[in-house]
């Protein structure tokens, strides 16, 4: 175990698609234990930024996990360095049990034969993870039968059994019930205490309840950053989120800051 806290440091990160700058010079630092929310309107570049960090989008600039430069490495290498992410749509193996999903994630480093071997007992880390994500009672159920929320927890569990040190979660509570949201927030606070966690989020109530710090992205750039209170009182943030008439019924209600 390292004696110093982990951190993720982005400097002047840029991603272009055919000349269009989806991410346009983003610099930010996220410290271990500081539950960071990354918010911003649709198309702000949030998912593209996560793609850049995880090696799925080609980027310029610098993205470091501690002293290790991630930029330019292949996605599987970045994952192996302990940087994990979830996707907006859960990507669990629906026909396999919860336990088998965790087992495969834990064995992703091993060869296919050892990975699929029959096991008498559950390794400690998998038991612990089942507890952490609240799926112990569901361990033998097919993942496909889980609720949307439980699938997201399983995905987070799949990162934990691989000992991910950085977790990048893309809209984890989208489509969740109120109770599932609260449980997810509590889970994120637990896992975020000794990991570096970035939560991409659209839901402002959820952000207000659980964020330690917030970065607001707009048109590919950082518009504002600070505590929830600081970001909410920033006139530039209010303009972006409330710029359209609040009376506009078509306006997505969960985009309202106040």
Minimum Å distance from CB 22 to ligand ADP? 3
Binding mask 85-104 for Mg ion (x = CB under 5 A): --------------------
Q: Is 172 in the site for ligand ADP (CB under 6 A)?
A: no
Q: Return the closest-CA partner of residue 31 out of 49, 10, 13, 46.
A: 10
Among 10, 28, 32, 47, binds ligand ADP (CB under 6 A): 47
Q: Which stretch binds ligand ADP (CB under 6 A): 29-37, 38-46, 93-101, 186-194?
A: 38-46
**Token match 């569990």: residue?**
157
d(CA 25, CA 161): 33
> What is the spatial distance between Cα 12 and Cα 64, in angstroms, rounded to a whole number?
12
No. of helices (H) and no. of strands (E), the chain: 10, 10
Residue nearest to Mg ion (CB): 47
Q: Is 44 in the site for ligand ADP (CB under 6 A)?
A: yes
Question: Which stretch in 43-51, 58-66, 104-112, 238-246 sits in contact with ligand ADP by CB under 6 A?
Answer: 43-51
Alpha helices in the chain (DSSP H): 46-53, 75-80, 98-106, 112-115, 124-132, 148-161, 178-192, 204-210, 228-232, 235-242
Q: Tell me the C-alpha distance between 130 and 37, whole Å.
A: 25
Number of residues that bind Mg ion (CB under 5 A): 2
Is 47 a residue that touches Mg ion (CB under 5 A)? yes
Q: Does 184 bind Mg ion (CB under 5 A)?
A: no
Interacting residue ranges for Mg ion, rule: CB under 5 A: 46-47
């Amino acid at each position: 175990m390292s004696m110093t806290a982990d951190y993720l440091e982005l400097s002047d990160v840029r991603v272009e698609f055919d000349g269009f700058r989806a991410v346009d010079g983003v610099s930010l630092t996220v410290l271990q234990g500081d539950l960071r929310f990354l918010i911003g309107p649709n198309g702000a570049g949030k998912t593209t930024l996560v793609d850049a960090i995880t090696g799925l989008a080609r980027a310029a600039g610098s993205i470091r996990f501690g002293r290790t430069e991630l930029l330019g490495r292949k996605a599987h290498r970045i994952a192996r360095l302990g940087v994990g992410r979830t996707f907006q749509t859960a990507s669990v193996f629906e026909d396999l049990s919860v336990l088998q999903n965790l087992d495969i994630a834990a064995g992703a480093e091993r060869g296919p034969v050892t990975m699929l071997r029959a096991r008498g007992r559950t390794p400690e880390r998998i038991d612990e993870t089942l507890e952490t994500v609240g799926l112990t009672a569901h361990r033998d159920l097919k993942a496909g039968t889980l609720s949307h929320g439980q699938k997201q927890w399983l995905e987070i569990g799949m990162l934990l059994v691989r000992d991910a040190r950085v977790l990048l979660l893309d809209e984890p509570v989208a489509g969740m019930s109120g109770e599932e949201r609260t449980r997810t927030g509590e889970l994120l606070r637990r896992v975020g205490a000794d990991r570096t966690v970035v939560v991409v989020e659209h839901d402002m109530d959820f952000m207000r309840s659980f964020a330690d710090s917030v970065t607001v992205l707009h048109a590919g750039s950082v518009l504002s950053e600070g505590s929830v209170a600081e970001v909410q009182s920033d006139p530039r943030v209010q303009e972006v989120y409330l710029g359209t008439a609040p009376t506009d019924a078509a306006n997505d209600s969960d985009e309202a800051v106040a």
